[in-house]
Structure 1
Amino acid sequence: MAEAKAKPHQYNIQHEDKMNDRKITSMIFKTLNYTNEIKKKSTNGHGGRRQLFKSLRHSLRIPASQPKKLEWFDEQSHLNLIWLPDTGTIKLNDYPKEQRESLLAKITNEAEAPTLVKNDRTELLEARTKLKNKVKNASKKETDEGSILAFQNILNVSGIADTEQLLSDLDQFDIKRKGQKLDTARQFLECHNEIERGPKPLIRKNQAVIQEAFFKFPAKNEVKGLSPEKRIDLIRNFYKAIFPEYPIHFVVLHCDEDTDLTEHSDHPHIFIS
């Protein structure tokens, strides 16, 4: 199970007791980043693709083989829930095994993206750096604030550049060797745009591609009154608010790991791209 390897953090959270008064309690919050490496074992909060595959199968309750030790109780499986972007929260038992396998494949494929950067992109990056240095050197002898600003707008360009507008802004100033400097600036901007329009750099082997997290209230805290759906919403809304740019693949709530059938050990796992 992934949570056994991840580094724990303890946070305080408010919940309602029976008298509708707010009470401060603690929860355990753990994260594990999975990289593109195949055999990497969990160290310092990072694991590899094999560990991701194993954790996904555990979380989605689709083990490839009979677990060596008891990880959950089948008779409690009807209590498990899953949140998906397309369906919202449903019972995990109502999410067919075939669809769970497809979800697993989608996520693991994301973690198995190619890891080599194409040579032509590398050459373009090197060419852009050289051209940028030429433009920078060309701007050093300028004393007019307007021409200096025009050069800076070219050098600081991001995204797809409006080449003609940037060159036109520079062309209006009386600068030495204008034709040569405009030509160098054009080469730089065209090289920059070719990079921006081309394929993006692919994933590095040690780059995190998937993050798993879960939180759990210690049983001794006896936190009650949080519905299963609320437990899912707590971790999902946290990630939506703090990391909105990272899509959530799914959230699953495990309610089948407590022999006493209490809600104290019910906990959600979330997987983020």
Structure 2
Amino acid sequence: MRLTTIFFAFVNYAFNDKGRRAGKATLFHSLRLTEEMALKQKYLTKSQKLMRSKNEIEIEWDSSLSHTNLIDTPDGIVPLDNFSQEQREQMMFEILQPETMKSADARKLGQDKARSKNKLKEWIKAGHFCKKGIELVDEIFSSDSLINVHHAAYRLNLLDMKRKAQRVEQLVNYIKAHNALLDKPNSLNSVNFEELLFKIPINNQIGTDIVSNEEMMHAMKSFLQRYYPDYPIKLMVLHHDERLPGEVTGGHVHAFISGKNALTHQYDLRLAHIRNVNAYLFGREGVDADLLSEKGRLNREQAGDVAKHMQEMFYEFVNEHLFHPKNINAAFHPESVRKSEKRKQMRREAKLAKRDRAFNYHARLLENVNSLEIQLKSFDGKISERKQVLDDVESKIINVSESYDALTIKHDALEQQCIQQEERLSDIEIVVQQNQRRLSKNMRLEQEVDERLSTKIKEEKKIDASILLKQQKHTELDSAIAEKQSILERLSVMTTKALYPVHKMLEHMNNRLILKGRAGAAEFMQHIIKAFSADLPAELRKTLIKITSNTGDTELENALTRKDSQINDSLDM
């Protein structure tokens, strides 16, 4: 599996002046605000001297590659160039949110609210409020929505208490401060929005042909939707113009999420970080996990742990959903790399403007120019070498040119000889062609004679074969006739022999009929019974019995019937 490193970081921008200046600066960079209208907007400080010029801004990226920058919209990922400078500026102001009050004003309102609340609590503790007054004050203290100051003052005025005007005044002061701070962060140090950055360093040589810019944006969006679903994504852009024109690496995602929880309306993004880290640690280590306090009060070391574990969460997420399906694994830099002087310098310069960093797009351009200059010098040396070779070749050409004339004369003489030889060859070819034509004609005649002879031979063979076939059929017919005559003769002999016993029986039966009732009839009856044997077919025996029945010789009929039964019984056994 291919190994890579990634860069993942997040920065919070508060509501205070410093946070708004820094947030505005990063949004200028992220939205590529370069038009004169946008440049008139002062950021970083109010001082004009800190205002960057157009050239200073454009040196952070290559404007000719702006078409490769992307932005995530409700309609999908589209080029950032689809939006005008005015539209981008409007996006910036929507993310920053209008500055409703100055830090000093917010601080004063907070102090007034706390002072009035403490005073009212002291009076309640001292027993200066009646029961209904205490209930009214507790109701107001527990409210997190807009309070009608006039209605509250009217209700308190109805109650009987000492120094009523003073009590009402403090309650009104509390309500006014409460309403002024409503839907505002508890402190201007609260997070207004957070920027998250995801980049695959160019030294990993993983370009858009392996991991596309859109896939990087989808991975970042999926990560935020999974771990921070209640904190809306205000902006997500991908820059791919901080590179050299021929490169396909360097794409990186800037995502901006709101610091305000969309469900609770509280600015508690820091607490969400801690909750996510605790859930991650508990899932990894179980009950042995060293969880952080979810009250939000962390020391420097604990805050560093939050950042560290968030990076671990992001590494695991992109490995599972982006890199591993592509046979890539993202891993942290070795300790030696993290502690190198280069990394220390990069961390020190992280808060500087990009133009002031040692490792930025402008520095890469300079490195590329230096590299090109070195290549140019190398080419100059090679050109000098090629020039020397060219001089040598030209000298050889001069020498060759001198012998060229002599070779030309010799060539002309040889060419004349070739012409003469070609003429002789042409005459020979004419004679050869004539001979070939005569030979071809003779060959065609021989071929025609051969074809005619071949046809006649084939016809004679067919006639011979037909005669032979007819002779064979004639012989076969003679044999068949002789065989059938022999069969007829045998059948005649066999028929005579087979019918002889029957003939004798019929003859005896006739004689018995003639002698019926006289001497000698019984003797013929014995001859008939003796001849009536099993050698006769069953059908013939039945026929003889039927003939006897027709003659009216009952005695003979009964005798033959009994013998026929005996014959049948013996055959069945």
With over 3 angstroms needed to count, the CA separation of the structure-2 counterparts of 1:134 and 1:67, relative to structure 1, is same
Cα distance between partner residues in 2 of 1:228 and 1:103 = 22
Which of the residues 89, 94, 110 maps onto 2:77? 89
- Which runs of 5 or more residues in structure 1 are unaligned? 1-21, 41-47, 137-179
Specify the code of the residue in structure 1 equivalent to 2:140.
Answer: C
Task: List per-residue Cα deviations over 1:132-185 (Å, max 9, x = no partner).
Answer: 89999xxxxxxxxxxxxxxxxxxxxxxxxxxxxxxxxxxxxxxxxxxx7x6476
Task: List per-residue Cα deviations over 1:176-222 (Å, max 9, x = no partner).
Answer: xxxx7x64763354123444445526343333212112111121222
Aligned length: 201
| Corresponding residue number in structure 2 for 1:192 | 141
| Corresponding residue number in structure 1 for 2:191 | 208
Specify the code of the residue in structure 1 equivalent to 2:184.
Answer: L
Alignment of 1:36-55 (within 5 A): 36-38=15-17, 40=18, 48-55=19-26
CA contact (8 A) 1:36 1:49 kept: yes
CA contact (8 A) 2:13 2:194 kept: yes
| Corresponding residue number in structure 2 for 1:174 | none
- The Cα of 1:96 is off from its aligned counterpart by 2.2
| Corresponding residue number in structure 1 for 2:66 | 77
- Root-mean-square deviation (Å): 3.3
Cα distance between partner residues in 1 of 2:2 and 2:134 = 63
Task: List per-residue Cα deviations over 1:233-258 (Å, max 9, x = no partner).
Answer: 11122122222222111111111111
What is the SS of the residue equivalent to 2:244? Answer: coil
Specify the code of the residue in structure 1 equivalent to 2:193.
Answer: I
| Corresponding residue number in structure 2 for 1:30 | 9
With over 3 angstroms needed to count, the CA separation of the structure-2 counterparts of 1:263 and 1:105, relative to structure 1, is same
- Which runs of 5 or more residues in structure 2 are unaligned? 40-52, 147-178, 259-573
- The Cα of 1:102 is off from its aligned counterpart by 1.0
TM-score between both structures, scaled by the size of structure 2: 0.31
Cα distance between partner residues in 1 of 2:11 and 2:21 = 13
What is the SS of the residue equivalent to 2:71? Answer: strand
Q: Which structure shows the higher helix fraction?
A: 2
- The Cα of 1:123 is off from its aligned counterpart by 6.0
What is the SS of the residue equivalent to 1:223? Answer: coil
What is the SS of the residue equivalent to 1:93? Answer: helix
Which of the residues 216, 222, 244 maps onto 1:237? 222
Specify the code of the residue in structure 2 equivalent to 1:27.
Answer: I
Task: List per-residue Cα deviations over 1:82-139 (Å, max 9, x = no partner).
Answer: 013x3331111112222111111222335x3424449787666666678889999xxx
Cα distance between partner residues in 2 of 1:51 and 1:121 = 25
Cα distance between partner residues in 1 of 2:211 and 2:218 = 10
CA contact (8 A) 2:9 2:197 kept: yes
Pick which of 97-106 and 191-200 moved more: 191-200
CA contact (8 A) 2:96 2:192 kept: no
Cα distance between partner residues in 2 of 1:119 and 1:257 = 45
| Corresponding residue number in structure 1 for 2:206 | 223
Task: List per-residue Cα deviations over 1:30-89 (Å, max 9, x = no partner).
Answer: 222222333x3xxxxxxx3222222212211112241326111122111110013x3331
What is the SS of the residue equivalent to 1:220? Answer: helix
CA contact (8 A) 2:66 2:81 kept: yes
Q: Which structure shows the higher strand fraction?
A: 1
Which of the residues 25, 30, 34 maps onto 1:59? 30
Cα distance between partner residues in 2 of 1:184 and 1:52 = 46
Percent identity between the two aligned chains: 29
TM-score between both structures, scaled by the size of structure 1: 0.61
Specify the code of the residue in structure 2 equivalent to 1:232.
Answer: M
CA contact (8 A) 1:124 1:195 kept: no
Asked if 1:248 corresponds to 2:227, the answer is no
Cα distance between partner residues in 1 of 2:3 and 2:119 = 58
| Corresponding residue number in structure 1 for 2:346 | none
CA contact (8 A) 2:62 2:241 kept: yes
With over 3 angstroms needed to count, the CA separation of the structure-2 counterparts of 1:53 and 1:124, relative to structure 1, is closer
Cα distance between partner residues in 2 of 1:120 and 1:222 = 54
Cα distance between partner residues in 1 of 2:90 and 2:250 = 28
